[in-house]
Structure 1
Amino acid sequence: MSDLLATVIADLEAESEQLDSWVESLDADEWSSITTPEGWTIAHQIAHLAWTDEASVTAITDPEAFSEGLKIAAANPAGYVDDAANKGAKTPPAELLQKWRDGRKRLARELAAVPDGEKIAWYGPPMSPTSMATARIMETWAHGHDVAGALGIVPPQTDRCKHVCHLGVRTRGFAYLMRGEEAPDVEVHVALTGPSGDLWTWGSPEAEQRITGSGYDFVLLATRRRHVEDVDVHAEGDDAAYWLTIIQAFAGLPGNDPRRVSEDAT
């Protein structure tokens, strides 16, 4: 296992432990707290993470079974994820929490064992084990953010969000693809400031199209948790500006566009 993969797996566990600490003492009623406009509860959020970890393990250990799952997903692209979350949310909270804990530990072991250079099939493009671990951080970060909001918790801003920034940049073309559009052949330079004050950059600094601002807020955009006008992220150039309105760091359909904070207040 490479040092990079070991670091990403460790950060994934840290992100998971943080969310775990927020939900481990909740009672049954609190597990039913609504976390999204679509009606997902905390139970839905944890069920989704547990299900996705299980799917990731299957993709690594049983590619044929995962391929069959892809066919089912293709037949029901709008409801496949929700159906799994609805089913998992019916599990008793203690059992659901333990399932998530066991699944994420197994996934860490399986990711560490993937041979160097081998790609893992997924609902989007095939991924390296490092990319898959990064995607799991993204999912855990995003769904953890939803849970924190429902519980009135202000999530700590850590440099673990850099992994999600990287994924958001890498999936630029995919964001266009999921909307049936073609990405412009224009380079965008991205320069973001992490919570610790470090500067994170992607792309040529000579590019005319630019994205600058907060790394943490960029992740809120990339996980479609905030409207572009409600974050400290700024674009120079029409292509860069449009990208910020469609950015998504996750596989699958983009879902509803985030509402502005001012709209939620009315």
Structure 2
Amino acid sequence: MSDASAVSAAVLDDLRQESEELDLLVAGLNAGGWALPTPAEGWTVAHQIAHLNWTDEVALLAVTDPGGFAGKAAEAAAAPETFVAEAAGEAVAALAPDALLVEWREGRARLQDALRAAPPQAKYPWYGPPMSVASMATARLMETWAHGQDVADALGVTRKPSTRLRHVARIGVRARDYAYFVRGAQPPAEQFRVELRAEDGTTSVYGPEDAAQRVTGPLLDFCLLVTRRAHRDDLSLRAVGPDAERWLDIAQAYAGPPGKDRPRKGER
């Protein structure tokens, strides 16, 4: 197995585990549980799972039929309101809970199979930059974790941070410049140093050691920030330098518009 294949397989294993953990949260819910509102305005638990199902299906299309994906991307650009409704999974969210759960399980299994069979170094189109198998799997893991956080918040569940958070942090760091571009701003030319502490005592480090612009803090808090699942004021992240300070206000790990910031604790 090549190095690229091994990396892709490892990320896909983590993606499967992340999905299975979320599956355990929702599998036993009754109809009322699926209808609970989540912190995302207008989205219930069912919408969160339906969105993950929709994104898995679109990712599958990008891998197996890039031309077909290009057509959907063009439709999205031409009719953004329709795209938003599709992305929210409105049609799938209306399914009975058992049917929705089956849709999501089968869809993510199809994507797993396609990504494992795909050449690991190939590039596939996406709404942001084209992605390799490992990058596609990392993006799916990031989104699964983020929407899983919305579900956990709706259910009043505190999830134990896993080592899989390193994938979320990595894509958040790599998407630094995108956060500026999506806001019509020019990113800083110099690299930042990012040092993130996990609960097991390990540290994830990115960027040159002598960088003037720095971000430090808990790994979990950084992941909550770059997925925009918590207000910065509620997180223990420290920025050194004006550019790093600005980045923490706009950082995002996902493609597309930033959306609304989450309110501070006590303002909800």
TM bin, normalised by shorter chain, reads: over 0.9
Partner of 1:5: 8
Q: Which whole-Å CA distance do the structure 1 matches of 2:170 and 2:211 have between them?
A: 18
**Which secondary structure does the structure 2 equivalent of 1:166 belong to?**
helix
**Which secondary structure does the structure 1 equivalent of 2:80 belong to?**
coil
Partner of 1:65: 68
Q: Which whole-Å CA distance do the structure 1 matches of 2:81 and 2:145 have between them?
A: 22
- Give the superposition deviation at 1:13: 0.8
Superposed CA RMSD: 1.2
- Give the superposition deviation at 1:37: 4.4
Partner of 2:20: 17
The answer to whether the aligner puts 1:145 opposite 2:149 as a matched pair is yes
Report the number of matched residues. 264
Match of 1:155 among 156, 159, 164: 159
CA contact (8 A) 2:25 2:152 kept: yes
| Partner deviation per Cα, 1:113-141 (whole Å, 9 max, x = no partner) | 22132101001110011000000010100
Partner of 1:191: 195
Distance 1:62 1:214, change over 3 A: same
Aligned ranges for residues 50-129 of structure 1 at < 5 Å? 50-77=53-80, 80-84=83-87, 85-129=89-133
Q: Which whole-Å CA distance do the structure 1 matches of 2:79 and 2:247 have between them?
A: 27
Query: Structure 2 regions of 5+ residues with no counterpart?
Result: none
Amino acid in the other structure paired with 2:15: L
Structure 1: 4+ residue segments shifted above 6 A: none
Amino acid in the other structure paired with 1:127: M
Identity across the alignment (%): 48
**Which secondary structure does the structure 2 equivalent of 1:98 belong to?**
helix
Q: Which whole-Å CA distance do the structure 1 matches of 2:194 and 2:63 have between them?
A: 32
- Give the superposition deviation at 1:44: 0.2
Amino acid in the other structure paired with 1:140: T
Query: Structure 1 regions of 5+ residues with no counterpart?
Result: none
Distance 1:8 1:116, change over 3 A: closer
Q: TM-score, normalised by structure 2?
A: 0.95
Amino acid in the other structure paired with 2:172: G
- Give the superposition deviation at 1:156: 1.1
| Partner deviation per Cα, 1:205-262 (whole Å, 9 max, x = no partner) | 1001000010111000010011111111110001001101101100111001221113
The answer to whether the aligner puts 1:171 opposite 2:175 as a matched pair is yes
- Give the superposition deviation at 1:185: 0.8
Amino acid in the other structure paired with 2:203: L
Q: Which whole-Å CA distance do the structure 2 matches of 1:65 and 1:259 have between them?
A: 38
**Which secondary structure does the structure 2 equivalent of 1:25 belong to?**
coil
Partner of 2:223: 219
Match of 2:264 among 254, 260, 264: 260
- Give the superposition deviation at 1:82: 3.3
Amino acid in the other structure paired with 1:43: A
- Give the superposition deviation at 1:180: 0.9
Distance 1:149 1:61, change over 3 A: same
- Give the superposition deviation at 1:80: 1.5
CA contact (8 A) 2:37 2:43 kept: yes
Q: Which whole-Å CA distance do the structure 2 matches of 1:79 and 1:237 have between them?
A: 41
Q: Which whole-Å CA distance do the structure 2 matches of 1:117 and 1:14 have between them?
A: 23
Q: Which whole-Å CA distance do the structure 2 matches of 1:76 and 1:249 have between them?
A: 24
Q: Which whole-Å CA distance do the structure 2 matches of 1:38 and 1:82 have between them?
A: 13
